[in-house]
């Protein structure tokens, strides 16, 4: 079923290893990085908005007194 006879053959990619793994590596890196940055940015945004809403609530309750 598998095409390769050995793991080292798979890594070598018939002398094209640098090109094949260079493509795979950068693709995997960027496709992992993008969602990670999105999750981080989202957490930061939610924290900022929550802080802002708390501050506004605090201000408006003080001004009523």
Partner 1 sequence: MNNRLINWFKYASPQSFYPIAGKMIPWFWALAAVFGVAGLYVGFLVAPTDAQQGEGYRIIFLHVPASWMSMFIYLVMALWAALGLAFNTRLSGMMASALAPTGALFAFLSLWTGALWGKPMWGAWWVWDARLTSELILLFLYIGFIALQSAIDDPRRADKAGAILALVGVVNIPIIYFSVKWWNTLHQGSSVSLTKSPSMAMIMLWGMLLCALACWMYSIAVALMRARSIMLERERHTEWVRALLTSTNSGKE
Among the listed residues 49, 55, 58, 59, the single contact to partner 1 using CB under 8 A: 49
The binder of partner 1 chosen from 8, 14, 62, 65 (CB under 8 A):
14
Would you count residue 59 as binding partner 1 (CB under 8 A)?
A: no
Nearest partner of 11 among 25, 1, 28, judged by Cα: 25
d(CA 29, CA 58) in angstroms, rounded, equals 44
Distance CA 63, CA 13 (A): 71
Any contact of residue 32 with partner 1 (CB under 8 A)? no
The answer to the question of residue 22 lying near partner 1 (CB under 8 A) is: yes
23/14 Cα distance (integer angstroms): 15
Mention every residue, 6+ apart, whose C-beta is less than 8 A from residue 54: none
- Positions in the binding site for partner 1 (CB under 8 A): 1-4, 10, 13-16, 18-20, 22-24, 26-27, 30-31, 34-35, 38-39, 41-42, 45-46, 49-50, 52-54, 57
């Amino acid at each position: 079923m598998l095409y390769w006879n050995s793991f080292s053959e798979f890594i070598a990619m018939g002398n094209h290893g640098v090109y094949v793994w260079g493509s795979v590596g950068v693709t995997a890196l960027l496709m992992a990085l993008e969602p990670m940055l999105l999750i981080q940015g989202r957490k930061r945004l939610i924290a900022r908005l929550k802080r802002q809403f708390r501050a506004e609530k605090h201000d408006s309750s003080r001004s009523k007194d």
